[in-house]
Amino acid sequence: MDETMKREAVKTNQMMGVIAAISGWIVPGLGHLVLRRWSKAAVYFLCIGGLACAGLAMRGGVFSAGAEDLFDRFGFFADLGAGVFYFLAHQIQAAGPDVAHATGDYGTRLFAAAGMLNFLTVLEAYDIGRGSEPR
Amino acid sequence: MNFLFGKLTHFEAMLFFALVVSLTFAFLSKRGTSERAKYTLWAFLAFLLVAIGIGWLMYPFSQ
Protein backbone atom coordinates (compact mmCIF):
# COMPACT_ATOMS: atom_id res chain seq x y z
CA MET A 1 0.00 0.00 0.00
CA ASP A 2 1.54 3.35 -0.95
CA GLU A 3 1.62 6.43 1.31
CA THR A 4 -1.42 8.19 -0.23
CA MET A 5 -3.64 5.13 0.20
CA LYS A 6 -2.44 4.70 3.78
CA ARG A 7 -3.26 8.32 4.58
CA GLU A 8 -6.70 7.97 2.97
CA ALA A 9 -7.41 4.83 5.04
CA VAL A 10 -6.41 6.60 8.26
CA LYS A 11 -8.63 9.58 7.36
CA THR A 12 -11.59 7.26 6.58
CA ASN A 13 -11.11 5.50 9.92
CA GLN A 14 -10.93 8.80 11.79
CA MET A 15 -14.13 9.93 10.06
CA MET A 16 -15.92 6.67 10.86
CA GLY A 17 -14.90 6.98 14.51
CA VAL A 18 -16.26 10.52 14.73
CA ILE A 19 -19.53 9.57 12.98
CA ALA A 20 -19.99 6.57 15.29
CA ALA A 21 -19.22 8.66 18.37
CA ILE A 22 -21.64 11.46 17.45
CA SER A 23 -24.46 9.10 16.51
CA GLY A 24 -23.82 7.06 19.67
CA TRP A 25 -24.08 10.19 21.77
CA ILE A 26 -27.32 11.36 20.12
CA VAL A 27 -29.05 7.97 20.43
CA PRO A 28 -27.45 5.42 22.79
CA GLY A 29 -26.39 2.38 20.76
CA LEU A 30 -26.72 4.09 17.36
CA GLY A 31 -22.95 4.39 17.02
CA HIS A 32 -22.59 0.63 17.35
CA LEU A 33 -25.49 0.14 14.93
CA VAL A 34 -23.61 2.23 12.35
CA LEU A 35 -20.60 -0.05 12.94
CA ARG A 36 -22.80 -3.17 12.59
CA ARG A 37 -22.30 -4.30 16.18
CA TRP A 38 -25.91 -5.41 16.48
CA SER A 39 -25.93 -7.00 19.94
CA LYS A 40 -23.97 -4.16 21.56
CA ALA A 41 -26.25 -1.60 19.92
CA ALA A 42 -29.38 -3.33 21.23
CA VAL A 43 -28.02 -3.82 24.76
CA TYR A 44 -26.73 -0.25 25.04
CA PHE A 45 -29.98 1.22 23.75
CA LEU A 46 -32.15 -0.86 26.08
CA CYS A 47 -29.96 -0.45 29.17
CA ILE A 48 -29.16 3.25 28.83
CA GLY A 49 -32.61 4.14 27.51
CA GLY A 50 -34.23 2.10 30.27
CA LEU A 51 -32.10 3.74 32.95
CA ALA A 52 -32.83 7.24 31.59
CA CYS A 53 -36.59 6.55 31.33
CA ALA A 54 -36.64 5.04 34.83
CA GLY A 55 -34.94 8.17 36.18
CA LEU A 56 -37.49 10.40 34.48
CA ALA A 57 -40.46 8.23 35.50
CA MET A 58 -39.27 8.44 39.11
CA ARG A 59 -39.51 12.23 38.65
CA GLY A 60 -35.79 12.81 38.90
CA GLY A 61 -34.38 16.26 38.25
CA VAL A 62 -32.61 17.18 35.00
CA PHE A 63 -29.82 19.76 35.24
CA SER A 64 -29.97 22.70 32.84
CA ALA A 65 -27.14 24.47 31.00
CA GLY A 66 -27.36 27.66 33.07
CA ALA A 67 -26.22 25.99 36.30
CA GLU A 68 -24.26 28.21 38.67
CA ASP A 69 -22.56 25.92 41.18
CA LEU A 70 -19.99 23.27 40.33
CA PHE A 71 -22.14 20.32 41.40
CA ASP A 72 -24.94 21.40 39.06
CA ARG A 73 -22.45 21.83 36.20
CA PHE A 74 -21.19 18.30 36.71
CA GLY A 75 -24.82 17.17 36.82
CA PHE A 76 -25.51 18.95 33.54
CA PHE A 77 -22.47 17.29 31.95
CA ALA A 78 -23.60 13.85 33.16
CA ASP A 79 -27.19 14.38 32.02
CA LEU A 80 -26.10 15.65 28.61
CA GLY A 81 -24.52 12.25 27.97
CA ALA A 82 -27.98 10.70 27.67
CA GLY A 83 -28.35 12.42 24.25
CA VAL A 84 -31.89 12.33 22.90
CA PHE A 85 -33.26 11.37 26.33
CA TYR A 86 -31.85 14.62 27.72
CA PHE A 87 -33.34 16.74 24.93
CA LEU A 88 -36.74 15.02 25.24
CA ALA A 89 -36.71 14.90 29.04
CA HIS A 90 -39.48 17.45 29.44
CA GLN A 91 -41.69 15.60 26.94
CA ILE A 92 -41.08 12.19 28.56
CA GLN A 93 -41.49 13.58 32.07
CA ALA A 94 -44.81 15.36 31.68
CA ALA A 95 -45.40 15.76 35.43
CA GLY A 96 -42.05 17.48 35.98
CA PRO A 97 -39.37 16.66 38.57
CA ASP A 98 -40.10 16.11 42.25
CA VAL A 99 -36.78 15.97 44.08
CA ALA A 100 -38.34 16.80 47.45
CA HIS A 101 -38.95 13.05 47.84
CA ALA A 102 -36.31 10.34 47.99
CA THR A 103 -37.70 8.65 44.87
CA GLY A 104 -37.20 11.80 42.81
CA ASP A 105 -33.67 12.19 44.13
CA TYR A 106 -32.96 8.57 43.24
CA GLY A 107 -34.34 9.26 39.75
CA THR A 108 -31.90 12.17 39.38
CA ARG A 109 -28.98 9.78 40.02
CA LEU A 110 -30.37 7.14 37.64
CA PHE A 111 -30.62 9.68 34.83
CA ALA A 112 -27.09 11.00 35.46
CA ALA A 113 -25.79 7.40 35.53
CA ALA A 114 -27.42 6.79 32.13
CA GLY A 115 -25.55 9.79 30.73
CA MET A 116 -22.20 8.68 32.11
CA LEU A 117 -22.69 5.12 30.84
CA ASN A 118 -23.48 6.51 27.41
CA PHE A 119 -20.21 8.47 27.41
CA LEU A 120 -18.39 5.16 27.94
CA THR A 121 -20.21 3.55 25.01
CA VAL A 122 -19.45 6.61 22.86
CA LEU A 123 -15.72 6.20 23.58
CA GLU A 124 -15.95 2.53 22.66
CA ALA A 125 -17.81 3.35 19.41
CA TYR A 126 -15.11 5.90 18.53
CA ASP A 127 -12.41 3.33 19.22
CA ILE A 128 -14.08 0.64 17.09
CA GLY A 129 -14.81 3.14 14.32
CA ARG A 130 -11.13 4.08 14.15
CA GLY A 131 -10.31 0.44 13.58
CA SER A 132 -9.00 -0.48 17.00
CA GLU A 133 -9.53 -4.05 18.07
CA PRO A 134 -13.01 -4.28 19.65
CA ARG A 135 -13.07 -5.67 23.15
CA MET B 1 -43.06 5.15 30.97
CA ASN B 2 -44.85 5.70 34.27
CA PHE B 3 -46.66 2.37 34.01
CA LEU B 4 -43.27 0.60 33.94
CA PHE B 5 -41.10 2.60 36.32
CA GLY B 6 -43.42 4.99 38.14
CA LYS B 7 -44.27 2.62 40.99
CA LEU B 8 -40.83 1.15 41.67
CA THR B 9 -39.84 0.81 45.31
CA HIS B 10 -36.33 1.96 46.23
CA PHE B 11 -35.14 -1.63 46.44
CA GLU B 12 -36.58 -2.49 43.01
CA ALA B 13 -34.98 0.64 41.56
CA MET B 14 -31.65 -0.45 43.02
CA LEU B 15 -32.06 -3.95 41.52
CA PHE B 16 -32.85 -2.44 38.13
CA PHE B 17 -29.88 -0.04 38.35
CA ALA B 18 -27.52 -2.87 39.35
CA LEU B 19 -28.74 -5.09 36.51
CA VAL B 20 -28.48 -2.58 33.66
CA VAL B 21 -25.14 -1.17 34.79
CA SER B 22 -23.69 -4.69 35.19
CA LEU B 23 -24.95 -5.68 31.74
CA THR B 24 -23.51 -2.55 30.12
CA PHE B 25 -20.13 -3.01 31.85
CA ALA B 26 -20.09 -6.66 30.74
CA PHE B 27 -20.63 -5.69 27.08
CA LEU B 28 -18.02 -2.93 27.36
CA SER B 29 -15.31 -5.03 28.91
CA LYS B 30 -15.81 -8.70 27.97
CA ARG B 31 -16.03 -10.74 24.79
CA GLY B 32 -18.13 -13.86 24.34
CA THR B 33 -21.49 -14.75 25.78
CA SER B 34 -20.31 -16.86 28.73
CA GLU B 35 -17.70 -14.30 29.81
CA ARG B 36 -20.31 -11.57 29.68
CA ALA B 37 -22.90 -13.62 31.56
CA LYS B 38 -20.38 -14.44 34.31
CA TYR B 39 -19.29 -10.80 34.60
CA THR B 40 -22.91 -9.56 34.67
CA LEU B 41 -23.79 -11.95 37.49
CA TRP B 42 -20.63 -11.12 39.45
CA ALA B 43 -21.06 -7.35 39.12
CA PHE B 44 -24.79 -7.55 39.90
CA LEU B 45 -24.16 -9.49 43.10
CA ALA B 46 -21.30 -7.15 44.04
CA PHE B 47 -23.59 -4.12 43.60
CA LEU B 48 -26.23 -5.72 45.84
CA LEU B 49 -23.74 -6.80 48.48
CA VAL B 50 -22.11 -3.37 48.67
CA ALA B 51 -25.45 -1.51 48.70
CA ILE B 52 -26.90 -3.71 51.47
CA GLY B 53 -23.60 -3.58 53.37
CA ILE B 54 -23.46 0.23 53.25
CA GLY B 55 -27.14 0.32 54.26
CA TRP B 56 -26.37 -1.75 57.37
CA LEU B 57 -23.33 0.39 58.19
CA MET B 58 -25.42 3.56 58.00
CA TYR B 59 -28.26 2.12 60.08
CA PRO B 60 -26.88 3.17 63.54
CA PHE B 61 -26.57 6.79 62.37
CA SER B 62 -30.24 6.96 61.39
CA GLN B 63 -31.37 6.55 65.03
Q: A123 or A101: whose pLDDT is higher? A: A123
Distance, in Å, from the CA atom of B21 to the CA atom of A94, rounded to the nearest integer, reads 26
Flag whether residue A121 sits within 8 Å of chain B, measured between CB atoms: yes
Q: What is the pTM of this model?
A: 0.88
Which pLDDT score, from 0 to 100, does residue A135 have? 52
- A93-109 pLDDT tens trace: 878 888 788 888 899 99
ipTM, two decimals: 0.87
Distance, in Å, from the CA atom of A22 to the CA atom of B37, rounded to the nearest integer, reads 29
Distance, in Å, from the CA atom of A82 to the CA atom of A111, rounded to the nearest integer, reads 8
Q: What average pLDDT is seen over chain A?
A: 89
Q: Where are the domains of chain A?
A: 3-129
CA triplet A119, B18, B28: central angle to 5 degrees?
A: 40
With CB atoms and an 8 Å threshold, state whether B21 touches A56. no
Flag whether residue A57 sits within 8 Å of chain B, measured between CB atoms: yes
**Residue A28 to residues A12, A34, A58, B46, Cα–Cα distance (Å):** 23, 12, 20, 25
